[in-house]
Amino acid sequence: MGISFGCSASGERLVSAARDGDLEEAQALLQCNPRLAKYSTFGARNSPLHFAAMQGHNEIVTLLLEHGVDVDTRKYCGQTALMQSCRHGHWEVVQTLILYNANVNKGDYLNGLTALHFAALNGHARCLRLLVADYVPSAPSFWGPRRNLSVPDQGPDCVSEETTSLRSSLYKLINKTADGGVTGLHMASLKGHAECVHLLLDLGADVSALTFQYDTTVDMIGAGSSPLHYAACGGSIQCCQMLLARGANHLAINCNGWIPQQVAQVWGRHWLDGLLAPRSQCPVQPLGLSPFLTSPLMSIIQIARECGLGDMSILASGMDSCAVCLEKICTVAAEGCGHELCTRCALYLCSNGTSMSDPAGAVPCPLCRQGIVSFRKLPSASPIKDLTRSSALGLCTTCTVDEPEALFPSEFSCRADKRSRVLPLSPVGRSVTCTGFSTMNLPCGKYDPALATPDQAEAQETRDHHPEWSLEGGSHEEAQIPASAPAPDRATTPRSLSESALRSKSPKRGWLQDFVAWKQKHNCSSKPTSS
């Protein structure tokens, strides 16, 4: 069963708001109960973060992450929000999750598929580019003529140890296998996604990776199949040409005894016979760098994590505005041309644009079209303060928190009265006081002779003849304390004893006791006598 925090009805409303993209509804619900951000539906365990990521609602994803949701939370089958967004191609959501340090190496519980497998299977090259952003440094030297990233550099022109470590980590990420030994290159080749195949080959995908026996539908191709076997099954000429250009063996035999040409014949891809024939004379063109290979992406993501997206308006800051959006201040500058942009525009340029081949992986500057290899931070980009997350338990709407002025200056408070605010915990104690409810004047019923019973009529007649027994001006049933009586010590005297002592000192009895005594004295009956 899923874990529910708070009211389940409010949690379902938040799930519906996340699924439908209702940002105002989600903000209102989280403002009332911040714990709803961690709500999960019963049974399926789908959190609002999964629904928002699946539908591509980036603003709601950001809102949930700001309220403390675990970015790597899993649903019932082990899929994370990053896998959901890569599966449906929502690259903006992928970008947000990467900024919040989502784990790209996690696999689901069903087949061990990672976010990279989902992106490659569905042909989302932009998502693939963002998934490897932390493994591709902003340096053209990273993309040399050598393609096999599993072999360390040797010789006088070897790169630094850090670059070698990044290449090794990138190779492991790109060639990570799911159940059956299937890699992302196998899936992209099978589906015919040429852009993903091109990018994966540039990132160091192994064209000789082989599958093994596993009870799935792809086993009909045969265990021991290479990505070229899968491309032949899919029937994509472009994918087969890319694999052959990067050294794929068109004579490799799988466990069924088939070469890629025979796989194409079994699956009816007869247009591949000339290209995959053992003695094929079809020329194979050399393959350049992928346009989705972006070098400055790592630098701008690191700046965004450190300083945020720089959403300060130019009206509030008085600084120079970004030349692209004309709304935000400039926080980063391009290495080389030196043109200044805001962090959000630079991140969009690297995530959504196409790169140049010279220098390798550079993106064109939107102002001068010169290649940008990396970005540097400007002095106007101040680091984000490590704000303490607010407590999940809030106060009621009538509670106030008294806090020391030295620890919490007035400029950090959003309202002067400081009501209904959840503040971070501190070793310094705070006094919490709840404002009492306002007094209510309840209307008292008046005596109506037409609706009165005989007993009520007789009692009213008695009160008319004896005004001192009236309840107006205060009830005589309550204790009347003389002015000369000393005040009791309630700190040492029990409440029951002090009240009984006060009642014993009362000079008058209650009007009801006096009325009963008067009736007994005059031998009056409550019922009228018939003549």
pLDDT tens digits for range 440-472 = 444 444 556 666 666 667 767 766 665 554 444
Q: How far apart are CA 387 and CA 383, in angstroms?
A: 12
The CATH code of domain 8-276 reads 1.25.40.20
CA torsion through residues 444, 450, 456, 459, sign: positive
| pLDDT, position 8 | 66
| pLDDT, position 142 | 75
Domain regions of the chain by residue span? 8-276, 297-377
Report yes or no: 407 and 425 within 8 Å, Cβ to Cβ.
Answer: no
Before 528, cis peptide (omega within 30)?
no
> How many other CB atoms sit within 10 Å of the CB of residue 397?
9
Residues of the chain with pLDDT under 50: 1-6, 145-157, 217, 386-445, 469-508, 526-531
Distance (Å) of CA 424 to CA 34, 127, 128, 393, 491: 14, 36, 38, 11, 36
Report yes or no: 272 and 232 within 8 Å, Cβ to Cβ.
Answer: yes
Residue type at 450 in one-letter notation: A
Domain 297-377 has CATH 3.90.380: no
Distance (Å) of CA 311 to CA 96, 130, 292, 321, 426: 15, 21, 27, 11, 30
| pLDDT, position 507 | 46
Of all helices (H) and strands (E), which one includes residue 456? Answer: helix 454-465
Q: How far apart are CA 354 and CA 16, in angstroms?
A: 36
| pLDDT, position 423 | 36
Q: How far apart are CA 230 and CA 189, in angstroms?
A: 6
Long-range CB contacts (within 8 A, 24+) of 505-509: 505/479, 505/481, 506/479, 506/480, 507/480, 507/482, 508/476, 508/480, 509/476
| pLDDT, position 511 | 64
The torsion angles phi and psi of 463, rounded to 5 degrees, stand at -65, -30
Q: And the tokens for 159?
A: 């790169």
| pLDDT, position 6 | 45
HEC letters along 405-428: CCCCCHHHCCCCCCECCCCCCCCC
Q: How far apart are CA 262 and CA 255, in angstroms?
A: 13
Burial class (CB in 10 A: 0-12, 13-18, 19+), 164: middle
The torsion angles phi and psi of 271, rounded to 5 degrees, stand at -70, -5
- DSSP codes joined into one string, 14-28: HHHHHHHT-HHHHHH
| pLDDT, position 317 | 55
> How many other CB atoms sit within 10 Å of the CB of residue 273?
12
